[in-house]
Each structure stands twice: as C-alpha cells, then as structure tokens.
Amino acid sequence: MPRLLRRALPPLLILAAAIVGFLVLRATGPEAPAPEATERTWPVQGLVAELGEHHPGILLNGRSASAQTATLRAAVEGEIEAVPARIGARMEAGETLLRIDPREAELLLVQRTAERRELEGAKESEEIRARFDREALVRERELLEIAERGLRRAQNLRERDLGSETDVDTAREALEQASLTLDNREQAMADAPMRMAQAEARLERARAAEDQAHIDLERTTITAPFDARIVEVEVAVGERARPGDPLVRLFALDDLEIRASIPAYILPRIEELLDAGEELTAHARVGGRTVRTELARLEGETRAGEAGTRGVFEVREGHSALNLNRFVELTLRLPAEADSVAVPYEALYGRDQIFRVVDDRMQSLRVERLGEFVTDAGDVRALIRHPDLETGDILVATRLPNAVDGLKVEVEEPGERPDRDAAIPRASDSNGEQDPNDD
C-alpha cells in the first residue's frame, strides 16, 4: 500500500501545481474589455404618404331576394284541368298559371242564383201584401163605423119597441167582428216593416252567396298577380285541389333586392350617408351582365354569425340576370373622402393600426378605415385617414412580427405613390371581421 501511494503522489502534485499556476495567472493578468451593447436596426420597406381625395369602395357578398315572394293557394275545390306555368318561366301580370275544372263552381253558381231569385219573389210578395193591407185598412175602418151605427140604430129601435133583442145582439156581434178584423189588419200593418226587413236580409244573404259563387268560379283560373318568375309548381293535371293547398310559388321580377352584410367598421359611415339622403349605388356582374343597385335601407337586426348588419340593395337594372337566392358580389361605391391615404394591406396591423417612421423609429397610429381602393394598376389598397398624417410621411409597408412603438428601423426604399386619379373603387373586407392578411 505505501508503494502504491508513492507511485500516485507525483502526478497529483503536478496537477495541483498546474491548477495553482492557472489561478495565479488569471488573478494577476489584465482584464479583457467588455463587449459594447448595440441596438439592432430592422430593415423595412417604406411608403410615402400622399393625402388626397379618393372614392372608397366596399366589396360585399350577398344574395338576391324579392320583396314580393308569393305562394298561390287553391281557393276552391276541384280537379286540376291545366297547368300552363313551368318552373323558371317568366309570366306577365294576368297571365294564366293554372286552371281548376270549373263545373262544380258553375253548378254552385246556378244554385245560388236560383236562391236569390226565390227570395226576390218573396220580397216582392211582402211589398204587395203591405200595399193591400194599407188599402184594406181604410175599408175596414169604414165597416167598423157602419157596424157602430147599426148597433146604435138597433138599440134605438129596441128602446121604442120597434125592434127585438135579437136585432140588437146581431148588430153588436157585427160590431165586434168589424173591430176584431180592424185590429188584425192594424197588427199586420205594424208587422209589415219587420217582415220587409227580414225579407231584405234573406235576399242580401242570397246575393252575397251568389257573388261568392261568382268569385269562386273566377278563382278556378289562377293568374299571375304581377310580372313574375315561377319558382315552383306544386300540382299536376288530374290532381284534386282543396282550399288552402299550395299551387304555385313565384316572385316579382320588378321588386328584386340584394341583401348583403356590411362590415361593422364602415357601418357608422353608411348610416350617416343614408341619413343625409346620399344615393349609394352598387354594381355587380352576373352571368356577363351588369346589375345596378341602390342601397335603400339597413335591416333592423344583426343576424347570428354575422359581425355586420345587412343592407338591402334595390335592383335598378339587370333584373333578368338574377334568380332568387343567387350569390352576388356587389361593389358599393361611396362618396369621395378628403385627406385620405391608400396604403397596401401589408401596412396595416390588425384592423386599424399603422406605423410611420419618425427619426428612424416606428410610431403607431390608430387610423379610420374608410373602405378600399384599387389603383389603375389593379393593386387593392386600404383607404385610411388620420388627422396627424401629412403628405410626405414615411409609412412602414413591411410586416414585422415584433412591431412596437420605438422600434429602430432602416427604410430601404420608399414605395411608389398610389395613383388616385385613375383608380376604381373596390373592396374585399366584406365580412366585417378581419382582412385576409391581418394578424
């Protein structure tokens, strides 16, 4: 064991001497200078802001609808005789869509006409009876007076013993009979207005039933209530229709609308323009044809799943190009906005934040979104406005993941200025939530 220790001791002493020497040299040697901290500069592309007057536009997605969509139903019962209407056909107002066999309605009309004539005769009979009662009343009053005189005469003769008691009784009976007859006639005269009113009421009911039968006969022929296009035909020849059964569904050609969701960010501006009476027009291309519309009003509720509010665009031109419930991409043109700037979407952070370069550092601005703008080169840009923006300001047109106020940047090369003179308004932020390139 001592022999092993003697063999291991020299290497350990050498190692310990080396460590001590290293520590001495490190403690007594000169200190290395600390590296200088340098701030990183981020290269960005710049855009020269040019304030001016631009016409913003909004691209909206909507569907066609009609303010007049009707389902025509059977008003009478009968077999379907003919169906000229066809799905997709355009029908003029008054044109026959469908016919129901009219024979049952014709028979009912004959019956109602007979009832009306019968009651007309009954009313005329009441009128004759009333006239006869008036004439008879005069005569019966005269007969009553005669009977009264006869009774007085018989009584006078009986008092002078020139007549018998039987003669007096006979005269009294004649007077009572004349009085009873007069009472009955007066009662009949008093009831005459009531009988006439009842006869008139029965006749009026009969006339109304006859008119209804005429209407039911006319309703066996179903016609277009307005210039329309057929959406659906529910029946075929030979089927039996009952009152209330659906027959044909159609919509008005001259009362078409397009209902499109308007983004929330532009909604206050739209409401302001509508309240001011501004005419807001929009157009679309459908099947190679141009459809021109005008924003008439906004719906009164925000639908589930939509961030914006739907606008109702009344179709002014191009009705024939639209089917019901067709998807339509509308371009809404807004009045010119002064002191506005068109910037690429790369310059937007989120919905309404941009950065400009001030003393080689980024400065954020919350801007007002006015819509969209397309240059004559076809570049889609966002139209913005801010009271602090001035012509000549350099805007950051590069997306930086760490963009914050005060970040040091180096502008590589300002981009070309937008050409606002030959621009066409368009937009793509139609859902009111976020641009496709927003973070």
| Residue-number span of the structural domain to which 242 is assigned | 69-100+225-251
Asked if pLDDT for residue 258 goes beyond 60, the answer is: yes
The pLDDT value given to residue 7: 66
Same domain, 111 and 210: yes
Average the pLDDT over 382-400 and give the result. Answer: 90
- The lowest-confidence range among 72-76, 117-121, 181-185, 408-412 is 181-185
Number of domains in the chain: 4
Same domain, 312 and 297: yes
Name the nearest CA neighbour of 330 among 316, 341, 340. 316
Asked if pLDDT for residue 333 goes beyond 80, the answer is: yes
Q: What CATH number does residue 237 fall under?
A: 2.40.50.100
Q: Work out the percent of the chain whose per-residue pLDDT is above 70.
A: 86
Name the nearest CA neighbour of 432 among 311, 261, 263. 263
Name the nearest CA neighbour of 397 among 431, 360, 349. 349
Same domain, 202 and 310: no
Asked if pLDDT for residue 420 goes beyond 90, the answer is: no
Q: Which two tokens mark 186? A: 């007066």
Question: What is the helix (H) or strand (E) element at residue 271, kind and residue range?
Answer: helix 267-275
112 falls in which pLDDT band (50, 70, 90)?
very high
Q: Amino acid identity, residue 411?
A: V
What global pTM score does this model have?
A: 0.59
Q: Which two tokens mark 393? A: 């300001």
Q: Can you give 56-110 as a three-state secondary structure string?
A: CEEEEEEEEEECCEEEEECCCCEEEEECCCCCCCEECCCCEEEEECCHHHHHHHH
Residue 433 lies in a domain: no
The pLDDT value given to residue 433: 37
Q: Which two tokens mark 229? A: 């296009």
Give the Cα separation of 188 and 181 in Å (integer).
11
The pLDDT value given to residue 123: 85
Greater model confidence, 47 or 148 = 47
Asked if pLDDT for residue 184 goes beyond 60, the answer is: yes
Residue 242 lies in a domain: yes
Name the nearest CA neighbour of 397 among 435, 339, 439, 354. 354
pLDDT, tens digit, for every residue of 197-230? 888 889 899 999 999 999 999 999 999 999 999 9
The pLDDT value given to residue 103: 93
Residue 40 lies in a domain: no
13 falls in which pLDDT band (50, 70, 90)?
low
Same domain, 385 and 237: no
Asked if pLDDT for residue 416 goes beyond 50, the answer is: no
Same domain, 129 and 62: no
The pLDDT value given to residue 439: 37
